[in-house]
Every structure is written in C-alpha cells, then in structure tokens.
C-alpha cells in the first residue's frame, strides 16, 4: 500500500543540555542483543503450510486483493467508506448524517491502521527486537481521525473524497469525541511520546486503563460554578480501539501469602478474588512511516460466568454482585491532577493495571526461550510517575515465586528493567499507601516490599553506621499510625534511572526530594529529560495555515519530523513580506477562536484584541487567581480613564479554560470568580472594546487545538519551583505565541532557546520561596495597594455576591498565601505593562513571534523520546523493511 511508508523520516538530532547530572545513568548498560547486519533475526524459514491453513495460494491471492482495497486514490477511498456505510453501519446513502459519515470514514482509516499495526507487530516479534513499555495511568489522546489522516499521509484524498460524497472535512472532524483518558499534562505527555515512538520507529507499547468514564465533562452553571457531568466517550462506538476479548488475564486480589524461606525464597499467594482484565488495543500511527505502535488499555470484567460453584449453589446474586464490583475497577478515571487522595479503589486500579501488563510482557518474553537474566535486554519499562510503582514488587513476585529465580538475581533484573520519571515535587502529590490497606489487598507484595526495604536499610546502615535519621528518611515505610508505604522511594530504588521533566525540576528532585538517595545510589542514578510535544498534533494539525507557510518558506516539510529545521525561519524574521503572511495566519486563527467564543458563549469580542490565554488544570499553584486579579486591576484602571485614553491602550481578550478537581473547593471558587468577572466586564459597554473575558467550558485537547494557535500571550505563572515542566508553554511558543511566565519548569529552558528578549518573565525565583513563606507565617508582609484595591472591588460586590469569594480571598491573608500571589502581584502587573508596550510595535512583535517558533526545535517530543531511548532505554529505532 502507499501510505507514504517509503519516505524515510530523518532522525532528529537530540539536543543535550550541558547538565552536570546528566551523564549516562546506567552503570550496567544493558547488552545490545545480537542482531544480523540488517538488524533482523529471522525465526528460521517456515513452511507455507505452517503459516497458512489450507491453500497458501488462495490465502495469498485474498491478501493481495484485500491490500488493494487500501489503495489511496480518491475512488478507492470512497469505495472503502461506502463499504462501511453499507455493511458496518447498515445504512443507505440517504440516511447518512455527519456522525455516520465520520464513523464510516474513521472505520476505513482504522482498516489502514490495523494493517500497519499487524505488519509492525509481526515484524518486531520476528526481529526479536527490544520493546519499550510506557506505563502511564493516563493517555490524553484527544481525537484520532484527523491525526491518523495526517500521519498516514492521506488527508488530501480523504478531503476530496468526502467532498464528492457531499461532506465537509472540518464538520466531519468535529463530530468526533475526544478520548479523554487523562487529566492534563501528564496524560498528554504520554500521548505525545507514543506519537514520537511510532514516528521514530522505536518499538513501544503504552499500557493504561480503559476507563468507562474518562475525565468528566465540565459545564458552567448560571452562577459561574463548575458542574461535572460524566463523559460517556464510549456511547458511540469508538473506532480507535480493537477489543482482544480472547486475551483476557486473571488478576488476583486479597488472599493469603507466605514469605519464602529466609524472606528470599519463593513465597506463595493463594485464595483471594480473581478479576478479569480484558485488553483493548489503540493503534498509534507514526508520521509517514509504517510503524504503528500500540496502546493497550485494560478493562475490568467480573468472572461470574466462570464461577459455576457459586452459580450452582444458588448464590446467583452474590456471583453477579462480585462481577459488578470487579467492573468498578475501571469505571472511572480519578479526576485529581497533582494530588494524591489515597483511595482504596485507586490502589486497586494501579495493581490491576500493572499486573495485567506485566503478565502480558512476561508471556511475550517466555516465547523467546532465553534466560530470565536477559529480560532487560528485551524489555524496558518506563514508570510515568509513581502510579505504576507496584510493578516493581509484582515483577519480583513473578520472578521469585513463579519462575524460581534467586532473589538477588531477580532484583538485578528488576532494576535493569525499570526507570522512573518523577512529575512533581508538591508534597500533596507524593503517593503513599497505608500499610494495612496494602496488606489487605496485596499481602504478598507487602512482604516483598518489606524484604526490599530490609536489604536497602542494611546496606545504608553499613555505609552510614548509626545514622538513624537517615534510615528513617530513606525507609520505604514511613512510621506513624498507620504506617505508610512511600511509593516514590520504592520507585527510586527499583529503577536504574530516575529523571525529572525539566532542568530546574530535575535539580529539585535531587536536591530537595531525594538527596539521601543521590548519596546512596550516586549522581548517575538521576538525570533530566526535558519534556517535549509532538509537532504533528501541535503545529501541523492544529495550525494548518502556519504549517503551510512554514513548509512553503523552508521549501520542505522536513520540520515535521526534524523540528530543528524551524531554525531556518530566523532569517525571515525581519522580512516585511514574510511578517505580513505570518501575521495573517495569526489573524485567521484569532478569528477562528472568536467564532468559537461567539458560538459557545454568545459573546461578541473585539477581533483585533491581543489574546491573552491561560488554559490548564485549575490549581492554586498555577495561579489562575493572580491572572484574574490582574484582569480586575486592568478593568479598574480602564474605568478611571477617559474614553480617548482607553482607545490608546491595546485592547485585550483574556481567555481562561480548565477543569478543577471536583473536590477542590478553592479551585472551583477561582472558576466562579473568572466567570463572575467575565460577566461584569463583558456587560460594561464602556469597556467592551478594550477588555473582554471568556471562560471557555470543558477544556480538552480539541479545545486546546483551537485556542493555542490564536494566542498572542499565554500565561505560565506558577509559583517558582512548583510546576515541574509544563508542556502547554511549549505548544504556545511553537505556534508563535509569546510566554508571560515565572522562572519555573521548562519556561527557563524555553527562554534560553528562544531568547530572553522574546519571553516576559516576572516574579520571585525558587530560592526566594521558603523565606517569603516564612514571612507570611510570621505576618511580616506588606500587601501592595494595587492588590488591596482589587480585593476591595471584589468585596464591594462589583462581581456579584461578595461573600461567596471570601474563602478564596482568605488564601491571600492571615499568614497563608502559600503560593505567594501577593509577593508576585506587582511584578506581574509590571510584566503585563511591558506586554502592552511591546505589542504596540507590531513589526518587532511579529519578529519576536517568528523567532520564538523558529527556536523551539529542542522541545519536540521526538528529541525527548530519543534521549530516553539512548540514555535510559538502550533501544534503537528499527525501520520496517518494504517487503515485510
């Protein structure tokens, strides 16, 4: 088939930071496994009769015919779509609406994906290649249709085909629901990384859970409050998942456990309750390559149909109830980001997920018939945050209890297999599970964790005798009532490499979070891989006009797979004609967003206003509160101005979007305040041309794709040291939006790349934070008059019933202000003023935005994934040969 598999994507060059901690981690680099010169180890010739049941000729001719149906000319594509309309959907032409057309077209795309998936998986299996397994409890994939068309290189013929059938591509794209199996940054990162592994031809599977309810849908009620409603993403058949009902796995909970002899021999785990894990596969196409990696999402099922004993004993209800209870395991995604609630069901989810996934990986490994000591040569497992840390004791259990491996050798295998990415230093987000809960749910695993702990503590005691404080800090078990298992400590000692997600964050991980482990395991155990985003979705797909301008200007679309090529734009940054085209793209995207705002909020806005965006999960540390306080300040200033002065000021449109965790009261008040302010300001006829505010409900990947290309300024204003990296900052800068931010997370590296002169920085830096917090604690703070003026305005009822916001305002005063809004407020207003002034000089502004895009190459997820591949996974790309 011609899906563009013949165009070889060049491998992007990895950019390495000069980081003292970033030497190769893995002291025992896993051996590269033996390969022939072509990188291909044939399984040995098979007889045709072994491959095909029946007549090989009949099979081959049928396969060839079938492949023909995947041809990519417009007529063939239409035939395929109509085939699905007529058979899969069982509809007649007169009965096809946009939803039906989407489904039929998506199913025809899915046929291509499945074909490529098959070829890829067969090839990787035959080549006995190493695979990476990316364990992430969240994958925030967004929509699949447009992305697959672009990656397969068939968007153009599909466009034409749909037109011929009487449909508009954009409208068809719009009926797809997002796959919202994630909360925010962490889940979106996983999605970007999978896209990159496929594009780079790195064999990789994602493992996750298939939640019946993904992230909730956010509705804003008439008082401006967030209301959560379930998002039934599976309501219309989801074409992007392939059920593998015959590959279900049994997962055990509870039961009784005995440790092995001396703690280290094979132990046992019996009795308990079994739940079925059913896999659903989501193919992930690479960009213009046949490599199609896989995300395997597990769904929980009860075992009722197997439970004949209970069934026959007349205990039908109990059997059914048990099954229903089992299904609750994957019923819902926990809607908290950067916050650990410690719910038992969440622990069940985590074990269910890692146990099913490891079962799968070990089954695959056994077929290779090589010793277990070679397990890390074939498998690298990346732990995306501590959520999958139970995989460490689970693999120990499999190796020691089931496979009879000696404990010490098993531990060596485990450590060579796993690596761990830390995503936050916020203490409320560090996972801990109570020992009684773990013991009740996973008795054998608790024994294994204790044994690992004992070994470690003995070792530490040897190195630092009589240092009880150190032992207490490092122990996997936190003393107290109840005792708690520290998942991060377990992840650190069970891995061969720990990384943070931006240079500053990785530094804090070592300095503040795990200093004892740095001493114990060595600096090389720790490192940094700065996050990245995929240019396929976050430029090519979401910003087609800019993408086209870039391709036309550079004379090639190589930047899509080698983002460093954008650098070539710098030489046009001052070019008047180019600037004009560049600005026209921004204006078109601005209009698209204004249309969206009008359609969803019924709000008419100034279509030439500077668009100032803050879209991300609502959290105190991200300080949307400071942003809206700044908006109020601007409003108060505007009210004091003469109409003529007002006209001279750059008009603004402030855009907010984001979900708050349902139980996060203060975050929900921030949403309410944004909506209240928006209501007052937008209703003020004197101000409307100069300032308007839009809170767009239900932030999602698809909404981000509309908002990001339109932004002039985006805000990444977390308290210094609290945002590990951020990734939306990268998406904005890539799309020619300038950043207004604090010296936090990846903002710092983005400024290094695009130039300080192209970023608006403000606020205190990380080392200031402890003493500022202390000053609040001791009541030694002066509140700026500007802030008090804004607070008074809210208290005056200018934005509706004032009392409602008291608990939110209270976070600023009385020794609190943990996130230092009052300390950074003046500096923030100052930075906003600089934005206004800079925007007046349009040629210089446009030049800044061009340079910003041009220098974002190093923030490609391709770079990040290659860095993981080289420094952590020890895996190389392997291209699928033409004749596979």
Ligand X SMILES: *Cc1c(COP(=O)(O)O)cnc(C)c1O
Give residue 632's Cα distance to chain centre. 32
Of 217 and 616, the one with the shorter C-beta distance to ligand X is 616
Site string for ligand X, 673-712 (x = CB under 6 A): --------------------------xxx--x--------
Closest CA to 237 of 278, 298, 176, 297: 176
Region of 649 on the Ramachandran plot (φ > 0 left; ψ -120 to 50 alpha; else beta): beta
Among 416, 496, 616, 646, which residue interacts with ligand X (rule: CB under 6 A)? 616
Site string for ligand X, 560-599 (x = CB under 6 A): ----------------------------------------
> 583 — phi, psi (to 5°)?
-65, -35
Of 78 and 424, the one with the shorter C-beta distance to ligand X is 424
Pair type for strands 273-285 and 249-253: antiparallel
- State yes or no: residue 185 binds ligand X (CB under 6 A): yes
Give the pair of three-digit tokens for residue 340: 């650990």
The rounded distance, in Å, linking the Cα atoms of 468 and 205 is 42
Of 302 and 709, the one with the shorter C-beta distance to ligand X is 709
Pair type for strands 131-135 and 204-209: parallel
Q: What is the per-residue DSSP string for 557-578?
A: SGGGT-GGGGGGGGGGTT-HHH
Give the pair of three-digit tokens for residue 292: 């199609």
Region of 726 on the Ramachandran plot (φ > 0 left; ψ -120 to 50 alpha; else beta): left
Among 208, 727, 742, 758, which residue interacts with ligand X (rule: CB under 6 A)? 727
- State yes or no: residue 184 binds ligand X (CB under 6 A): yes
- State yes or no: residue 733 binds ligand X (CB under 6 A): no
> 879 — phi, psi (to 5°)?
-80, 140
Least CB distance from residue 616 to ligand X, whole Å?
A: 3
Least CB distance from residue 208 to ligand X, whole Å?
A: 16
Pair type for strands 217-220 and 226-229: antiparallel
- The β-bridge partners of 528 are 500
Least CB distance from residue 698 to ligand X, whole Å?
A: 10
Least CB distance from residue 853 to ligand X, whole Å?
A: 17
Burial of 298 (0-12, 13-18, 19+ CB in 10 A): buried
> 431 — phi, psi (to 5°)?
-75, 135
Site string for ligand X, 640-679 (x = CB under 6 A): ----------------------------------------
Give the pair of three-digit tokens for residue 777: 């604690």
DSSP state of 509: I
Q: Which residues contact 425 (CB under 8 A, 6 or more apart)?
A: 505, 508, 509, 512, 513, 721, 722, 724
Least CB distance from residue 857 to ligand X, whole Å?
A: 18
* Options 182-190, 434-442, 686-694, 756-764: segment touching ligand X (CB under 6 A): 182-190
Least CB distance from residue 827 to ligand X, whole Å?
A: 20
Residues with a known catalytic role: 423, 616-617, 622, 727, 731
> Binding residues for ligand X, how many (CB under 6 A)?
12
Among 726, 737, 741, 857, which residue interacts with ligand X (rule: CB under 6 A)? 726
Of 224 and 726, the one with the shorter C-beta distance to ligand X is 726
* Options 184-192, 310-318, 367-375, 505-513: segment touching ligand X (CB under 6 A): 184-192
- State yes or no: residue 742 binds ligand X (CB under 6 A): no
Q: Residue holding tokens 């991980």?
A: 509
Least CB distance from residue 742 to ligand X, whole Å?
A: 13
Least CB distance from residue 824 to ligand X, whole Å?
A: 18
Helix (H) or strand (E) holding 774: helix 769-777
* Options 26-34, 64-72, 462-470, 724-732: segment touching ligand X (CB under 6 A): 724-732
Of 251 and 657, the one with the shorter C-beta distance to ligand X is 657
Q: Residue holding tokens 């001052």?
A: 574
Q: Give the residue closest to ligand X by C-beta.
A: 728
- State yes or no: residue 188 binds ligand X (CB under 6 A): yes
Least CB distance from residue 151 to ligand X, whole Å?
A: 18
Least CB distance from residue 279 to ligand X, whole Å?
A: 26
The rounded distance, in Å, linking the Cα atoms of 159 and 165 is 10
Of 456 and 533, the one with the shorter C-beta distance to ligand X is 533
* Options 156-164, 271-279, 350-358, 727-735: segment touching ligand X (CB under 6 A): 727-735
- State yes or no: residue 728 binds ligand X (CB under 6 A): yes
Least CB distance from residue 423 to ligand X, whole Å?
A: 11
- State yes or no: residue 737 binds ligand X (CB under 6 A): no
Least CB distance from residue 179 to ligand X, whole Å?
A: 12
The rounded distance, in Å, linking the Cα atoms of 177 and 179 is 6
Of 184 and 203, the one with the shorter C-beta distance to ligand X is 184
- State yes or no: residue 717 binds ligand X (CB under 6 A): no
Helix (H) or strand (E) holding 694: strand 691-695
- State yes or no: residue 623 binds ligand X (CB under 6 A): no
Is residue 486 within 8 A of residue 514, CB to CB? The reply is: no
* Options 104-112, 723-731, 777-785, 840-848: segment touching ligand X (CB under 6 A): 723-731
- Before 808, cis peptide (omega within 30)? no
Question: Would you give the end-to-end CA distance of the chain in angstroms?
Answer: 12
Of 416 and 731, the one with the shorter C-beta distance to ligand X is 731
Give the torsion through C-alpha atoms of 364, 369, 374, 375, to 10 deg: 20
189-222 CB burial, b ≥16 within 10 A, e <16: bbbbbbbbbbbbbbbbbbbbbbbbbbbbbbebee
- State yes or no: residue 264 binds ligand X (CB under 6 A): no
Is residue 724 within 8 A of residue 630, CB to CB? The reply is: no
Of 484 and 613, the one with the shorter C-beta distance to ligand X is 613
SS3 at position 380: strand
Of 130 and 731, the one with the shorter C-beta distance to ligand X is 731
* Options 2-10, 167-175, 181-189, 440-448: segment touching ligand X (CB under 6 A): 181-189
> 687 — phi, psi (to 5°)?
-105, -25
The rounded distance, in Å, linking the Cα atoms of 679 and 796 is 16
Q: What are the helix and strand counts (H, E) for the chain?
A: 35, 25
- State yes or no: residue 218 binds ligand X (CB under 6 A): no
- State yes or no: residue 628 binds ligand X (CB under 6 A): no
Q: What residues from 288 to 307 belong to the interface with ligand X (CB under 6 A)? A: none
- State yes or no: residue 739 binds ligand X (CB under 6 A): no
Footprint of ligand X on this chain (CB under 6 A)?
184-185, 188, 616, 699-701, 704, 726-728, 731
């Amino acid at each position: 088939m011609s899906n563009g598999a013949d165009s070889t994507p060049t491998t992007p060059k990895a950019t390495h930071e000069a980081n003292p901690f970033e030497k190769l981690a893995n002291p025992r680099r896993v051996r590269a496994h033996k390969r022939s010169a072509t990188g291909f180890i044939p399984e040995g010739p098979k007889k045709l009769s072994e491959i095909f049941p029946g007549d090989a000729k009949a099979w081959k001719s049928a396969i060839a015919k079938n492949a023909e149906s995947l041809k990519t000319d417009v007529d063939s594509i239409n035939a395929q779509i109509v085939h699905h309309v007529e058979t899969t959907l069982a509809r007649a032409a007169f009965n096809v609406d946009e939803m039906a057309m989407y489904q039929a077209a998506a199913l025809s795309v899915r046929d291509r994906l499945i074909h490529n998936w098959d070829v890829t998986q067969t090839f990787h299996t035959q080549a006995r290649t190493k695979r990476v397994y990316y364990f992430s409890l969240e994958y925030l994939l967004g929509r699949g249709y447009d992305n697959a068309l672009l990656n397969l290189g068939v968007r153009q013929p599909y466009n034409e085909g749909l037109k011929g059938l009487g449909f508009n591509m954009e409208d068809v794209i719009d009926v797809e629901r997002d796959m919202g199996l994630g909360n925010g940054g962490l889940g979106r990162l996983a999605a970007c990384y999978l896209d990159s592994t496929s594009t780079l031809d790195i064999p990789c599977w994602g493992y996750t859970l298939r939640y019946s309810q993904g992230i909730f849908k956010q509705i804003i009620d008439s008082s401006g409050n967030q209301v959560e409603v379930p998002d039934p993403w599976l309501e219309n058949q989801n074409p992007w998942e392939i059920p593998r009902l015959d590959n279900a796995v049994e997962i055990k909970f509870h039961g009784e456990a005995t440790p092995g002899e001396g703690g280290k021999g094979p132990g046992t785990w019996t009795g308990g309750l079994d739940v079925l894990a059913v896999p659903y596969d989501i193919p992930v196409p690479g960009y213009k390559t046949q490599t199609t990696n896989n995300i395997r999402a597990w769904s929980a099922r009860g075992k009722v149909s197997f439970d004949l004993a209970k069934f026959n004993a007349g205990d039908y209800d109990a059997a059914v109830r048990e099954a229903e209870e089992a299904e609750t395991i994957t019923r819902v995604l926990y809607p908290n980001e950067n916050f650990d609630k410690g719910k038992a069901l969440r622990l069940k989810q985590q074990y269910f997920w890692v146990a099913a996934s490891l079962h799968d990986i070990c089954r695959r490994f056994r077929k290779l018939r090589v010793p277990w000591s070679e397990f890390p040569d074939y498998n690298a497992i990346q732990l995306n945050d501590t959520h999958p840390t139970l995989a460490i004791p689970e693999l120990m259990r499999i190796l020691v209890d089931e496979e009879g491996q000696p404990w010490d050798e098993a531990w060596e295998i485990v450590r060579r297999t796993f690596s761990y990415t830390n995503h936050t230093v916020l203490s409320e987000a560090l996972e801990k599970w109570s020992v009684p809960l773990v013991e009740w749910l996973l008795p054998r695993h608790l024994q294994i964790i204790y044994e690992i702990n004992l070994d470690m503590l003995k070792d530490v005691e040897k190195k630092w005798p009589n240092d009880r404080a150190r032992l207490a800090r490092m122990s996997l078990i936190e003393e107290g009532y109840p005792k708690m298992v520290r998942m991060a400590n377990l992840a650190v000692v069970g891995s061969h490499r720990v990384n943070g997600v931006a240079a500053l964050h990785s530094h804090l991980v070592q300095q503040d979070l795990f200093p004892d482990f740095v001493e114990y395991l060595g600096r090389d155990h720790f490192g940094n891989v700065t996050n990245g985003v995929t240019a396929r979705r976050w430029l090519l797909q979401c910003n087609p006009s800019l993408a086209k301008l870039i391709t036309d200007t550079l004379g090639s679309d190589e930047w899509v797979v080698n983002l460093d090529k954008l650098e070539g734009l710098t030489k046009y940054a001052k070019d008047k004609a180019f600037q004009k085209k560049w600005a026209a793209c921004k204006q078109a995207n601005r209009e698209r967003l204004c249309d969206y705002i009008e359609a969803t909020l019924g709000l008419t806005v100034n279509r030439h206003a500077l668009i100032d965006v803050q879209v991300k999960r609502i959290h105190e540390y991200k300080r949307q509160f400071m942003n809206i306080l700044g908006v109020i300040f601007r409003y108060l200033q505007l009210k004091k101005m003469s109409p003529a002065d007002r006209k001279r000021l750059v008009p603004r449109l402030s855009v907010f979007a984001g979900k708050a965790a349902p139980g996060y009261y203060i975050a929900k008040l921030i949403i309410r305040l944004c909506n209240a302010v928006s209501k007052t300001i937008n209703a003020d006829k004197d101000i409307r041309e100069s300032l308007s505010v839009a809170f767009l409900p239900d932030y999602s990947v698809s909404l981000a794709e509309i908002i990001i290309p339109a932004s002039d300024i985006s805000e990444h204003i977390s308290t210094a040291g609290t945002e590990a990296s951020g990734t939306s900052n990268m998406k904005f800068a890539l799309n020619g939006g300038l950043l207004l931010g604090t010296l936090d997370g990846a903002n710092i590296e983005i400024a290094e790349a695009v130039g300080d002169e192209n970023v608006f920085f403000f606020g205190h830096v990380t080392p200031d934070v402890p003493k500022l917090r202390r000053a609040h604690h001791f009541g030694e703070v002066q509140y700026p008059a500007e802030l008090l003026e804004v607070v008074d305005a809210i208290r005056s009822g200018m934005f509706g019933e004032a009392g409602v916001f008291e608990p939110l305002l209270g976070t600023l005063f009385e020794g609190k202000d943990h996130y230092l809004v009052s300390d950074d407020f003046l500096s923030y207003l100052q930075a906003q003023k600089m934005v206004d002034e800079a925007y007046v000089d349009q040629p210089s502004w446009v030049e800044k935005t061009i340079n910003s895009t041009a220098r974002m190459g190093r923030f490609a997820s391709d770079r990040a994934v290659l860095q993981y591949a080289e420094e952590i996974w020890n895996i190389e790309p392997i291209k699928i040969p033409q004749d596979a």
